[in-house]
Chains A and B, each alone.
Chain A
Amino acid sequence: MKRFTITIAAAVLTLGLAGCDENEQKAENTEPAAPQASSTNTFEEVKARGVLQCGINTGLAGFAYTDDNGKWAGFDVAYCRALAAAVLGDPDKVKYVNLTGKNRFPALASGEIDVLSRNTTWTFSRDVKLGFTFVGVSYYDGQGFIGRKKLGVKSAKELDGASICIQTGTTTELNLADFFRVNKIKYEPVPIETNEEARKAYLAERCDVYTTDASGLAATKSTFADADKHMVFPEIISKEPLGPLVRQGDDAWADIARWTLNALINAEEYGVTSANIDEMLKGTKNPEINRMLGTEGSLGEMLGLPKDWAVKALKAGGNYGEIFDRYLGEKTPLGLSRGLNALWSNGGILYAPPMR
């Protein structure tokens, strides 16, 4: 009899749990979701923590890589450093979180990171439906293909029947499907999680071509031992405006992130570099520069930051042009030209609103 009652009790307990199955599944996600509610003020959290949590790539030459000292460096990393310098006064107070194309959004949504700076394309649905705010465009990119020269392919439209390596959970995955459907040609997608894995699969000839953002292709190609045997096809099949993003609904933090990026771009336009910034701090004839550097007006105060926030940000790694040249420019293995990413005054489309 006793055994029977225990069985019944166990059954009831199980039923009780089963009834709450849905809750249980939600519970799985509660932990990351919890800080979300309290993090409506990311700025305060970052200040209290004393460290900026910045989401970056798992490894992409030029954008996020470990340098000879084992420290993270690159174009996307430089933004993290500038933001940390603006907010905390020290570019080294960053905790880098390496994310794949797939887990970057859950990481940002859950509050694991404060800002995502991982060559992420600004799209309608990500902005509107996923609940994020893109703070600007740091790199105007487009999707391209890389393949071996011996294939004799001149255009992506000749790729009928090819196997194509593609990172899952990216816009490139969607563009690729669209491109092949519109051109009525077939392909075999080979899904890959990270750029490093894609590189390996491509080099092993698991796939004929690899497709991702043109900048990523240049970065990947720069790491090949036989780079001259590969070519990036001339076609660009999509618009990929890449930029940093934060959670939606935290406008104060979004403003800080946005204007840090704008300050880097404006500094290049105004000719403020890491070399001459100390000179400029003594005062210039250009009121825009003075306002940005905090020697005039109270822009920093408006953001809730110290007067010299932009100075700190610029000293972290220089202005936009300096960062570009250091990590992506023509003197680097990537050898990317400024192209669309030149200032509007130099024939590009890089244009930051004024610091007023």
Chain B
Amino acid sequence: MINRTTLTNLWFNKRGRGYLLQLLVLLGVTTLLAIIASNTIANLQKAGLTSGFGFLGDQAFFDINQRLIEYTSQSSFGRALVVGLLNTVLVSSLGIITATIIGFFAGVLRLSDNWLVSRLITAYVEVTRNVPLLLQIILWWAILTSLPKIRDSIPVFGTLFLNNRGLRAPAPVFEPSFIWVFIVFIACLFFTFLLLFWARRRQRRTGKIFPVGLTALALVATVPLIVFFSLGQPITWDIPARTRFNFQGGFNITPELLALWIALATYTGAFISEIVRAGILSVSKGQSEAALSLGLRKNQTMRLIVIPQALRVIIPPLTSQHLNLTKNSSLAIAIGYQDLVSIGGTILNQSGHALEVVAIWMAVYLSLSLATSAFMNWYNKRISLIER
């Protein structure tokens, strides 16, 4: 009797009811998942298939054309997956950086007063945004593979060769003394930060502006160069040379990587440009008018007043575009770029461990996305702290 009263009370209590319903939903979902899992395991056992991640140690026996780490057909499935993961990370990071740059320029230029520029950007945005990404990837691949054949490679600057098997470029070979150039470069960067700090303090105290930008450029660009030449140019170049079938030496960017990179960057860049445009437009005109009337120059107004405020609007949707790009990179499979999905698929086929490979795919993309969004959230927090 008491029990019943408590339960009834719980039901009529708004908060209690909420808890109860949520608990029931939770129970339902968990039970469903448990049934699905046990059913799958039972089915697998019935079919005589083993599961587990032990197979990752087995020899892969297949080759991969683009590898950022040492890999041969003697390496393990696990290593092959790492090669694929690195290829995914490579194309995603290249794509994210390029898409963001394209997006920012396109976003700003679309607001330009120049009729031609703004219309051209509008055309770019509307075309790339509204054509399926898969088609764009295939289109770029088709364009790149219809470049001249290897025999008629287009030489660029004499040592770069563009053909339908990609872009073959000289690879730098660093001599041991090159480390000094690097150290000096880092030191210059460090000094620039100190300079920046000092210039800010001085400006706050005296109001005088120190041309940090130009000084830093001169410092970072020239000092390491002087060191480089005084050490007797400690870099040699591994220049590609024609052999019977291909170029030997240097490194090659495959048409698959190029096509995927260009397609992902231009596609996502179009979305980002809209986000940037929205961000800039969200800053009320009064802000820049006020800045201009205070005597700030036009570029200072943009840099110090408009962009910091626009960024607060831009960053959250920008994050989701970056996540989209990473996930979209799995379309690589359409043109044979050997990313995580492509190599995982081969492993799935050669080893028969479908569940495990799918589990790995999901875990990896989840972690990549969570890592990207963690970084962007940190950045978002940092810029939104500057409240005025």
A37 within 8 A of B: yes
Binds B, one of A176-184, A269-277, A318-326: A176-184
Q: Cβ of A131 and Cβ of B29 under 8 Å apart?
A: no
Q: Cβ of A25 and Cβ of B18 under 8 Å apart?
A: no
A38, B24: Cα distance in complex, Å: 32
A205 within 8 A of B: yes
A36, B48: Cα distance in complex, Å: 11
B203 within 8 A of A: no
Q: Find A30's partner among B30, B40, B72, B146 (CB 8 Å cutoff).
A: B40
Residue numbers in B under 8 Å from A339 (CB-CB): none
B73 within 8 A of A: yes
Q: Cβ of B346 and Cβ of A169 under 8 Å apart?
A: yes
Q: Cβ of A193 and Cβ of B64 under 8 Å apart?
A: no
Tally chain A residues at the interface, Cβ within 8 Å.
62
Q: Cβ of B352 and Cβ of A129 under 8 Å apart?
A: yes
For A179-221 the 0/1 string (1 means CB < 8 A from B) is 0110000011111110001000100111010000000000000
Within 8 A of A (CB), among B324-365: 333, 336, 338, 342, 345-346, 348-352, 354-355, 358-359, 362-363
Q: Find B39's partner among A20, A34, A176 (CB 8 Å cutoff).
A: A34
Q: Cβ of A169 and Cβ of B350 under 8 Å apart?
A: yes
Binds A, one of B178-186, B206-214, B242-250, B295-303: B242-250
Q: Cβ of B164 and Cβ of A29 under 8 Å apart?
A: no
For A20-52 the 0/1 string (1 means CB < 8 A from B) is 101111111110011011001000000000000
Q: Find B63's partner among A16, A162, A176, A197 (CB 8 Å cutoff).
A: A176
Q: Cβ of A33 and Cβ of B44 under 8 Å apart?
A: yes
Residue numbers in A under 8 Å from B42 (CB-CB): 37
B277 within 8 A of A: no
Q: Find B47's partner among A20, A106, A109 (CB 8 Å cutoff).
A: A109
Residue numbers in B under 8 Å from A109 (CB-CB): 47, 49, 352, 354
Q: Cβ of A191 and Cβ of B44 under 8 Å apart?
A: no
A50, B248: Cα distance in complex, Å: 58
Q: Cβ of A37 and Cβ of B243 under 8 Å apart?
A: no
Interface residues on B, range: 35 or more
A168, B34: Cα distance in complex, Å: 35
Q: Closest CB of chain A to B95's CB: distance in Å? A: 20
- A161-B61 contact, Cβ under 8 Å, with A9-B18, A168-B342: no
Closest residue of B by beta carbon distance from A20: B33
For A61-103 the 0/1 string (1 means CB < 8 A from B) is 0000000000000000000000000000000000000000110
Residue numbers in B under 8 Å from A204 (CB-CB): 145-146, 164
A187, B30: Cα distance in complex, Å: 51
A286 within 8 A of B: no
Q: Cβ of A162 and Cβ of B149 under 8 Å apart?
A: no
Decide if the interface of chain A is mainly helix, strand, loop or mixed. Answer: helix
Q: Cβ of B336 and Cβ of A191 under 8 Å apart?
A: yes
Q: Find B336's partner among A5, A25, A105, A193 (CB 8 Å cutoff).
A: A193
Q: Closest CB of chain B to A289's CB: distance in Å? A: 38
Residue numbers in B under 8 Å from A37 (CB-CB): 42-43, 46-47
- A27-B336 contact, Cβ under 8 Å, with A162-B245, A205-B150, A206-B255: no
Q: Cβ of B164 and Cβ of A206 under 8 Å apart?
A: yes
Residue numbers in A under 8 Å from B65 (CB-CB): 188-191
A288 within 8 A of B: no
A188, B358: Cα distance in complex, Å: 27
Q: Cβ of A163 and Cβ of B245 under 8 Å apart?
A: yes
Residue numbers in B under 8 Å from A162 (CB-CB): 244-246
Q: Cβ of B358 and Cβ of A13 under 8 Å apart?
A: no
Residue numbers in B under 8 Å from A112 (CB-CB): none
A105, B354: Cα distance in complex, Å: 10
Q: Cβ of A161 and Cβ of B245 under 8 Å apart?
A: yes
Q: Closest CB of chain A to B253's CB: distance in Å? A: 13
Q: Closest CB of chain A to B40's CB: distance in Å? A: 5
A196, B48: Cα distance in complex, Å: 35
Q: Cβ of A190 and Cβ of B336 under 8 Å apart?
A: yes
Q: Cβ of A168 and Cβ of B352 under 8 Å apart?
A: no
Q: Cβ of A131 and Cβ of B48 under 8 Å apart?
A: yes
A23, B29: Cα distance in complex, Å: 11
- A102-B15 contact, Cβ under 8 Å, with A26-B355, A162-B245, A206-B165: no
For B33-76 the 0/1 string (1 means CB < 8 A from A) is 11011011111101111000000000001111100000011100
B26 within 8 A of A: yes
Q: Cβ of B146 and Cβ of A29 under 8 Å apart?
A: no
B19 within 8 A of A: yes
- A163-B47 contact, Cβ under 8 Å, with A9-B22, A26-B355, A189-B63: no
A174, B74: Cα distance in complex, Å: 11
Q: Closest CB of chain A to B62's CB: distance in Å? A: 5
Residue numbers in B under 8 Å from A249 (CB-CB): 46-48
B interface residues with partner A (beta carbon < 8 Å)? 15, 18-19, 22, 25-26, 29-30, 33-34, 36-37, 39-44, 46-49, 61-65, 72-74, 145-146, 149-150, 164-165, 243-246, 248, 255, 333, 336, 338, 342, 345-346, 348-352, 354-355, 358-359, 362-363
A-B contact pairs, 17 of them (CB 8 A): A5-B18, A13-B22, A17-B29, A25-B359, A26-B355, A27-B37, A29-B40, A34-B39, A36-B46, A37-B43, A37-B46, A109-B354, A130-B352, A168-B342, A191-B65, A204-B146, A247-B47
Query: Given known contacts A17-B33, A181-B73, A190-B336, what 8 new A-B pairs fall within 8 Å (CB)?
Result: A13-B29, A16-B29, A26-B40, A29-B40, A36-B43, A36-B46, A109-B47, A201-B145
